[in-house]
Copies of this chain bind each other. A is one copy, B any other.
Amino acid sequence: MSFANLALQTGMDAIVTGVNLVWVLTVTFLIFFMHAGFAMLEAGQVRSKNVANQLTKNLLTWSVGVIVFFLAGAAVSTIVGGLTGGGSYSITGAFMGLYSPEAGSVTAWTDWLFGAVFAMTAATIVSGAVAGRAKLRAYVSYTIVLAAVIYPVVVGFTWAGGFLATLGFHDFAGGMIVHGMGGLAGLTAAWIIGPRMDRFNSDGSVNVIPGHSLSFAVLGTLILAFGWYGFNVGTAAAPLAMDGGEVTLGSFSYVGRVALVTTLGMAAGAIGAAAVALQKTGKVDTLYVANGLLAGLVGITSIADAIVWPGAIVVGLLAGAQLPIVFGFVEKRLKIDDVCAVFPVHGSAGILGALLFPLFATSFWNGSASFVGLAIPQIAGVAVITAWTVGATFVVFRIIKAMGELRVSAEHEREGLDTSEHGVDTYPEFGKPDTLTDGSGV
């Protein structure tokens, strides 16, 4: 659909554009609100001495990232899409289409903002993995690269029409493109930066460092779930469409499936994680339930438009159930200190959902597609996005590390990043700064 001369739109064209914009703007705001969710979820999972640091990172991820994504990232997506997908593209056009849209192109900037809130979701996930020891400048530098290049390249390969799109890779709302990418980047970053002090003992055993507030963590979870309805259901972004001169239902012809499947996946995720926690420890760990709910959402995100609903329950259960197991694997085997469990929640759950697609695809069940035909693009997509994200993140963090700018000093880590990096005390009237003994679990 060409948007030339849209300002002159009248009649049915105006109605379609108006209704679609009401919807897209509303869900864009919801997705933006996920930053409050991430801020609370992550702040709740760090020590009280590092809370302000985590909150500042969240604020700056959005603030720095969204400007970078406007000035560079979005255009990079378009260019990479054209380059790798065989479509036509113009480097100048990619930038000027945003800097100076042609008169009448009323949706150029709203479309950009809709894309930007997805991009910033991917960006903010990383901060949870490197909490409690990354220098602010290191984190912000990585965010700039992520917003300008790393994420835009992933989108270029896929949503912007690149070679994975051509191949048939299916990722409806970004289960792999946004969450998988963010989770993999976080794991890589946490690996390079190394664990927090006292996280692992010299004999290889593990100390649990509990977050300072489950209340904030659960609040963040529920804010995220709220915003996620915008993320998933909102990706059915064109309620109405023009077809042969007549208004028809656009993406709202299947929006009910997205809404149902998102709900079932989320619910099953919480149950799956609760069940495994109960089986392992005899108790229903609150944080596993919360993160399981999110893992269920991540698992369903790439496939919410195109699976049979019982599949949502299965995917959700598995995405929730893998959480405690993968978290334990990352912690005990890989010895990576993924503070906010961003890999099991966003990474492995996103990969799982994308790979399970063929099994539950409506097109498989109604016979219009073959299992193998569906599976190959999914495996290719997961592999390419994983390789690119891990590789690019590895390079950036290694460079920052080589410059000696990655990690705060041991002294600063001990006293907490709130004091050393921000000069503030998050709770000046409560508690005491904890010294030395982060690993004691108290």
Contact = CB atoms under 8 A, between A and B. Distances in A.
A392 interface: no
Most-contacted residue by chain B among A30, A64, A212, A226 (CB, 10 A) = A226
Contact of A67 (B40, B285, B313): B313
Nearest to A105: B256
A126 interface: no
Interface residues of A, number: 121
A330 interface: no
Interface in A51-72: 51-53, 55-56, 58-60, 62-64, 66-67, 70
B428 A212 contact: yes
A1 interface: no
A39 to B, nearest CB: 6
How many copies, total?
A: 3
Interface stretch (A6-14, A89-97, A180-188): A6-14
Contacts of A123: none
A47 B430 CA distance: 11
Contacts of A225: 32
Contacts of A35: 222
A293 interface: yes
A270 B63 contact: yes
Contact of A429 (B19, B48, B53): B48
A116 interface: yes
A214 interface: yes
A253 interface: yes
Interface string A90-115: 00000000010100001111101100
A373 interface: no
Contact of A289 (B40, B56, B271): B56
Interface stretch (A21-29, A192-200, A339-347, A394-402): A21-29
Interface in A283-331: 283-287, 289-290, 293, 309, 313
Nearest to A426: B214
B424 A11 contact: no
Interface in A244-276: 246-250, 252-257, 259-260, 263-264, 266-271, 274
Contacts of A428: 210-212, 441-442
A380 interface: no
A309 B109 CA distance: 11
B219 A39 contact: yes
B252 A17 contact: yes
A93 B339 CA distance: 49
Most-contacted residue by chain B among A112, A222, A421 (CB, 10 A) = A222
A82 interface: no
Interface of A: 6-7, 9-12, 14-15, 17-19, 21-23, 25-26, 28-30, 32-33, 35-36, 39-40, 43, 47-48, 51-53, 55-56, 58-60, 62-64, 66-67, 70, 99, 101, 106-110, 112-113, 116, 136, 210-216, 218-219, 221-223, 225-226, 229-230, 233, 239-240, 243, 246-250, 252-257, 259-260, 263-264, 266-271, 274, 281, 283-287, 289-290, 293, 309, 313, 418, 421-431, 434, 441-442
Given A40-B215, A63-B293, 7 more contacts: A10-B248, A14-B240, A60-B284, A60-B289, A67-B264, A108-B256, A213-B427
24 contacts: A11-B246, A14-B248, A15-B19, A15-B240, A15-B247, A18-B239, A18-B240, A33-B223, A39-B218, A48-B429, A52-B286, A59-B222, A60-B271, A62-B267, A63-B267, A66-B264, A67-B268, A106-B253, A109-B257, A219-B219, A284-B422, A285-B424, A286-B418, A430-B431
